[in-house]
Structure 1
């Protein structure tokens, strides 16, 4: 089967988008998100202001796209190195990877969470889809824990995934509210909440 080659225009568009995101990333880190203007982004990337708006509708969309690849890489690594058994260990493993990512630059991470939480448009849809995929993956992990006897057969897997997300996000917000994100402290909190939610009926289902 012949492989279709990308047109010159499409390749040029992708190259421009990559330059814009690299420029945005460097300016956001150097000057801070709030102090970085769209005009400064254009000047730093060596393009006109109109070119930016052909790719992104607003600054929050650029912020989301600039870190989308990094976040995806963090998640892929977390799932690739996931412990084979132990739902608590697995969920804490995932949380640790994500918290460590945000803790590297808490000031910038605060801006990221603040701006993209209710992001609309195409990038908002992408983030929503990514969240749904993440929750489905967590649901499957919980389902596996039910099947291998670690969790009660009565466990509602989708509810469990939503509960974990709320625990994780609570820890993330609490960590970002502090001057320095203490990953260990927030992981301990999430672990307590996970144990309370999944094992509150006792230890009879801690077989694995």
Structure 2
């Protein structure tokens, strides 16, 4: 027999699954509690019981998906050159956005500019990726791939900014794919832009 708590969690999961598909099919603006409730075979009040508003429903739907992509990012970046390792870390995140191109702008805005409590949750995800970048940079510093006095925390912040710039360029239609631009920016950053002569 299914407990009330299990039933409630199953209902919430079903709403999230339907909402995710609904947002991807119709976009955030066209989505409505009513249509999502109907497709999930629950009352509108049930959706409202679990989620304060449409934006919190979007955040909940995105967070779980993004969490899976980030978990994959954190396992990567172990082989190849420094640039290859960093590109490898971010590939699952770019693939996450590429799977839902129509919703990518909303996904990006939602993760960057969410209000509490989602702001802290999305920031926590970003921090975990930043920590992974710093680990890779520390290893690179120990191997002599970057200068011994390189500030790996600042390096990690720069790499993360390249990730976002490439993603924004792709979302805005300025670049065909974000990963090649990200890779080029990181290559130039690692190589440096001053004339060695």
Contact 1:103 1:182 in 2 (8 A): no
Say which structure, 1 or 2, has more relative contact order (CA 8 Å, 6+ apart).
Answer: 1
Distance 2:52 2:129 in 1: 26
Contact 2:70 2:125 in 1 (8 A): no
**TM-score of the aligned structures, taking structure 2 as reference length:** 0.86
1:152-171 deviations in Å (ceiling 9; x for gaps): 11111111111011101000
Match of 1:182 among 176, 183, 192: 176
1:27 corresponds in structure 2 to 22
Change (3 A) 1:30 1:187: closer
Q: Which blocks of at least 5 consecutive residues in structure 2 are unaligned?
A: none
2:61 corresponds in structure 1 to 66
Change (3 A) 1:189 1:26: closer
- In the alignment, structure 1 residue 194 sits paired with structure 2 residue 186: yes
Superposition pairs for residues 81-100 of structure 1, below 5 Å? 81-100=76-95
Distance 1:189 1:198 in 2: 14
CA RMSD of aligned residues (A): 2.4
Distance 1:30 1:84 in 2: 37
Aligned residues: 194
Q: Which blocks of at least 5 consecutive residues in structure 1 are unaligned?
A: 1-6
**DSSP-derived class of the 1:167 partner:** helix
